[in-house]
Structure 1
């Protein structure tokens, strides 16, 4: 079984150590091979917070990690860094590539950076970015799970979500789905859920994984994507997405929603 763990909005500097340990325990329990973090790894983009976040991600013991910046990963108080050095501290821990493209086993991952140095919170999406992701997807092999990662959500479940969407989000969803995208990973809103905005395209909106900045009644949460053996055909694999929420009483994450994403009807398993 191939397992990808989707985390978002870690907000190191506003993190809960006991929840961090629970995420690391779950990663080892499930044998996670790939970790994807869709932004906001820090609270205030300080060198110490980036170092803490990097140490936490290494402690997941995954074979590979794909980390994108969020708006909180741009310096706020060191505002002068936003002119030419906005991503310098992020890059020192996670590398200079802000839009990574990685083929990792059964997962093909395309990152798109929706943050902008001149913006404090809202995201942006350019025509060039939409075209680049479209091209990467169109040229990918069909077999891997084709995944796009962005910090800001491109789908909206309610009025609160709409305020967080970048402009041209609808165009991006249609073009990326038609180019072969099967899953979109995002964060920012701290509201967890698995959605299907278009036939053939699923969206994982992760909540805040380890911080105490909880919103809208959502607990700490994360998402697991997995390739699992098909009971009816052992030589084939099924794709599943599951949401895991943190329970303070057991100090552990538990699966609360499980979705077979190959199901054209989109029926929830639990």
Structure 2
């Protein structure tokens, strides 16, 4: 069994500082084999905010990969945003914007969906999808992680990332089994599966781990326990105004039939 923990939308600079310690303690207690951090590590892409986020990540003992979100590129410095949008991010979090990792028989591959030229709306680049497909493990479980969702429910009022549907179609055909994302600060799994549009990909859209925006109602993260074709999903939640994380909600899924089903 392999345990993958997914954090996203930390928003350092506009985050719940009091929740940092409970979050780190919960991560340590869960003992994940790999932690993925799906972008928006900062709120405005400022140097000080990146330093805060880096200090937080350095306190996680598990192996970790991270990737940028739209909030991690310069907002007000238009020159930097145009010519070197990821320079500061690379200095602090590492040179790769699309890292890969292996944990047991689970392969995790990042996609950089941040588009500096549109600020909020993301972009799925064909070359990055091709690199994910190139590294798909035909014998294991393949996970793609990115900031922007590849499918959205009708209740979402943000524009879907450019080329998202095409990217998801190609990855499903190539054998990507799970897609982890954030950006919307809204949890979605079963409603996406119920659309029936991409039955061989379990899309797990996770809410914000630390953002202090009251309208988000709660902070949360996901833990995936993967064994063969079975996946156990834990949703860990900390209500706004609360002291920490309660008992997780648990759901189980299987792709033994060739498509994902909740069991």
What TM-score, normalized by structure 2, do the two folds share?
0.88
What SS does structure 2 have at the residue aligned with 1:207? coil
Query: Runs (4+) of structure 1 moved beyond 4 Å?
Result: none
CA–CA distance in structure 1, aligned partners of residues 3 and 214 of structure 2: 26
CA–CA distance in structure 2, aligned partners of residues 124 and 112 of structure 1: 10
Q: Is the 8 A contact 1:152 1:164 kept in 2?
A: no
1:207 maps to what in 2? Answer: 207
- 1:1-270 alignment runs, 5 A limit: 1-62=1-62, 64-137=63-136, 140-143=137-140, 145-160=141-156, 163-194=158-189, 195-196=192-193, 197-215=197-215, 218-227=217-226, 238-247=230-239, 248-262=241-255, 264=257, 266-267=261-262
What SS does structure 1 have at the residue aligned with 2:262? coil
1:61–1:98 CA distance, 2 compared to 1 (3 A): same
What TM-score, normalized by structure 1, do the two folds share?
0.86
Give, in angstroms, the shift of residue 180 of structure 1: 0.8
Higher strand content, 1 or 2: 1
**Structure 1, residues 126-153: CA drift from partner, whole Å, max 9, x if none?**
333333322222xx2412x200011111
CA–CA distance in structure 2, aligned partners of residues 258 and 2 of structure 1: 16
Q: Is the 8 A contact 1:214 1:220 kept in 2?
A: no
Q: Is the 8 A contact 1:19 1:251 kept in 2?
A: yes
**Structure 1, residues 131-188: CA drift from partner, whole Å, max 9, x if none?**
3322222xx2412x20001111111122426x34212222221210111101001111
CA–CA distance in structure 2, aligned partners of residues 94 and 202 of structure 1: 28
Q: Is the 8 A contact 2:138 2:175 kept in 1?
A: no
1:227–1:267 CA distance, 2 compared to 1 (3 A): closer
CA–CA distance in structure 1, aligned partners of residues 32 and 51 of structure 2: 22
Q: Is the 8 A contact 1:26 1:253 kept in 2?
A: no
1:96–1:214 CA distance, 2 compared to 1 (3 A): farther
**Structure 1, residues 176-233: CA drift from partner, whole Å, max 9, x if none?**
0111101001111100122425222101111110111254x541111111135xxxxx
Give, in angstroms, the shift of residue 13 of structure 1: 0.3
Give, in angstroms, the shift of residue 263 of structure 1: 6.0
In structure 2, runs of 5+ residues without a counterpart are none
RMSD: 2.1
